[in-house]
Chains A and B, each alone.
Chain A
Amino acid sequence: MARIILQNDNINFSTDKQSITNGFISDRDLLKKRSKKYLDLIAGLDAKTLTETKGMDELIKAIQEEFGTAELSNLPLGILSKCFLGHPYEVHTLDLSGSQIIKHYKITETMEAEFEKARSVAKHNAYAMVEIYKDKIILIREDGTATKL
């Protein structure tokens, strides 16, 4: 009854469909869960005295560790999050592009265009912070999961 049946269809194990990911960060890496340490560091920005250079170095190091790269082009331009300094401060930014400074913005103040577009989501309670990239923004929840927008 059971016969061996000739395989009349070509099995198409195509490999060309896979995108080349060399030298390029794939979404899998980009959207990996952020570590607790990284989240705590960013969340602690309000409390820390901002002028401490040593603290700043540590922070940058931790961020580089998180993203597994020291290359500036693969790091976010900056990180935007809710500010808990209280009224009238609304959000603060951590600029990673060069100046590496923390700045707190009041409700009425406008930020640079790249940051401004993420302001409304950054204020939303569901997200702990927003990473700003050149071509995208990534929202990070309290538990570290990331969403690309």
Chain B
Amino acid sequence: MSQQVISYADLSIINSALRSISSDMKGVHSELGTLNFKQDQLESELVKLADSFADFVEADIKHKSLQLAETRQGNLKQDLQIKFGYYAEVRRMATGILQGVDTGVIGEDTLRFTTEEVMIKAPGYWLAPALVSLTAWIRNDKSTTEKALNEALKRDDYKTTLFFMMVMRRLTRNDASLKWLERYFMHQNPHNLDREFIIILEAVTTGVFPPAARQLMMVNVKNWLDQLTQGDQFINEQKSQWVNFFVALGPLSEGKYPLLEKFSSNWNSLENSLKEAKTHDILNTHFKNIISSSADFSKGIKVQLDEILSLLVTNFDDEELPLQEQVRLNQLIIQMDGDKNAAQSLMDAEKHIFDEKVDFLQLLTNASFNPELSGATKVTQALAVSISQPWILEAYDTFTAQSRNNIPQYIELSIDDFKASTKDGSEENELLKEQESYYDKILETELGKISFPYAAVIIGILICFLGLWAFSLHVIVGILGCGIGGVIIWNSVSTYKKAKNRVIENVEERKQKAKEVLRGCIAETVDYRIEHTSEDNKAEQVRDLISSITPEDFSSVSHETARSII
């Protein structure tokens, strides 16, 4: 019953509704198309924005850490001032007393009073009793001298010994000074030297001490070197530190090769290799600076002694080291424009400077890396470099060999998915040809994707035939049929042709652009290789420079040769 009803039902309404829906759908489809297009646009905008945002964040982080480092540095310095500021005062007093006694304008009472006050104000600091002892000695108070000296030695044996060695020398009590020196050496173990040892090295290098002291020193140094360089361990340690130091000195990137940076897939290794090659030049000036620095002999012995004395006393005492270390890190962050990683790697190279006890080779290395931080002057740096010369040379050879081993043999290019590799850019023509055929292939596959509209053409032809057949029924219907068929055929063929032309144009444009980029990349490759080779060649100059350094050059630069000692 019900089936019958349906079979007679009028479906035309549903049909027309379906038709209208499908026409609506068409509208929706076209809307979707425009939406898709807009979304693509939006996406590319967004990617651009994200890129610039990432750049901004990076710059911002650097900027912030720079600011933070600046504030922190200030705070830490203040901290140092608060905690150890009084030490500085005592230190200044040491040279003050000596100079005051020289001129004879300070009364004994003042000396006594001030030094005893210091003794109370700076508990636990070795320099206070040393000063008391000194002033007691000046006014011939034997028992106080001995008591205070005992106390000073208890607090810091090495520094007190050193201090009195210097003071005796300053007061030209040469024999006493030599005795102190001898005693000092007996204490030393080349595997485990005190940081202060650098000051002795300094004093002897600059010829402040009488020749006998220097001979004593050189004999000791030679023995230590023999002892330490027997095995591989100590030398290898220094060598690896030097290699790290060389690596850390590398320059920052310059952005000189924008195309390679963008289109070379192994740009990172290319850039690193160039940086390593450029390090040679930096090292050249570095070492030249060191060996060309000479001592200033215009100063009198007393002035120089005072300087060394103040070096001895101002070189932070061990309890200050942790704070000094942090100050240094923040300084480096500021120096590297807020780049924390770069600062940390420099800091790691310098780290051993802050070790409290070092072996003799390490001490030399510290003095060579950063004389100010390890408490020496440029002259000592030169001496340290000259003594370490054999393993600096070895380390430099290793560094050079490593960097040469890491030179990328090929420059890999990836332009618009066209992969190519070139050695030195000499294959320009071949590469351009390869690129040409690559784009020919792309054109082929792209064209292959657009199929000829057979279906539409066949339908058109069929409609034409129907039209021809319709001529027998009615002429107008026949003409209409043929016309519609013709239009369908013509339409589909012309859209096909247009699509084809578009693809050809598209690929042609890509090809032209890619060609320019490839040419640019090859030009940059040639420049890169030229620059790399010339920078790499500088390694030989640096090597000659380092080879030419000999210890004799510097141990002879002293007051004895410049002028006679008082």
Contact = CB atoms under 8 A, between A and B. Distances in A.
B233 A17 contact: yes
Query: Chain B's interface: helix, strand, loop or mixed, by majority?
Result: helix
Interface string B202-244: 0000000000000000000000000000111101100000000
B401 A149 contact: yes
B235 A9 contact: no
A36 to B, nearest CB: 18
Nearest to A11: B189
B438 interface: no
Interface stretch (A59-67, A77-85, A118-126): A118-126
A7 B187 contact: yes
A51 B161 CA distance: 73
Contacts of B189: 11-13
B12 to A, nearest CB: 79
Contacts of B153: 5
Nearest to A139: B401
Interface string A103-142: 0000000000000001011001011000000000001010
A121 B539 CA distance: 14
Contact of A1 (B176, B187, B192, B394): B176
Nearest to A107: B423
Interface string A10-54: 011110011101000011100100000000000000000000000
B183 A121 contact: no
Given A5-B183, A12-B192, A121-B404, A19 B232 contact: yes
A13 B228 CA distance: 12
B404 A5 contact: no
Nearest to B137: A1
Given A2-B176, A3-B149, A18-B230, A121 B405 contact: yes
A1 B405 contact: no
A127 B176 CA distance: 55
Contacts of A13: 189
B157 interface: yes
B116 interface: no
Interface string B177-189: 0011001001101
B317 to A, nearest CB: 18
A8 interface: yes
Contacts of B191: 12, 14, 17
Contact of A126 (B145, B183, B394, B540): B540
Nearest to A130: B401
Q: Please tell me the size bucket of the interface on A.
A: 20 to 34
Contacts of A141: 397
Nearest to B408: A120
Interface in B161-176: 161, 176
A27 B232 contact: yes
Contacts of B540: 126
Given A1-B137, A120-B404, A19 B231 contact: yes
Contact of A149 (B146, B157, B179, B398): B398
Contact of B157 (A3, A9, A17, A147): A9
Contacts of A7: 186-187
Contacts of A21: 231-232
B409 interface: yes
A100 interface: no
Nearest to B402: A149
A69 interface: no
Interface string A85-104: 00000000000000000000
A1 B183 contact: no
Contacts of A120: 404-405, 407, 409
A149 B407 CA distance: 14
A31 B180 CA distance: 41
A38 to B, nearest CB: 19
B236 A27 contact: yes
A13 B189 CA distance: 7
Interface of A: 1-3, 5, 7-9, 11-14, 17-19, 21, 26-28, 31, 118, 120-121, 124, 126-127, 139, 141, 145, 147-149
29 contacts: A2-B179, A3-B146, A8-B157, A11-B187, A12-B191, A17-B191, A17-B233, A18-B231, A18-B233, A21-B232, A27-B236, A31-B394, A118-B405, A120-B405, A120-B407, A121-B404, A121-B405, A126-B404, A126-B540, A127-B401, A141-B397, A147-B397, A147-B398, A147-B400, A147-B401, A148-B398, A149-B398, A149-B401, A149-B405
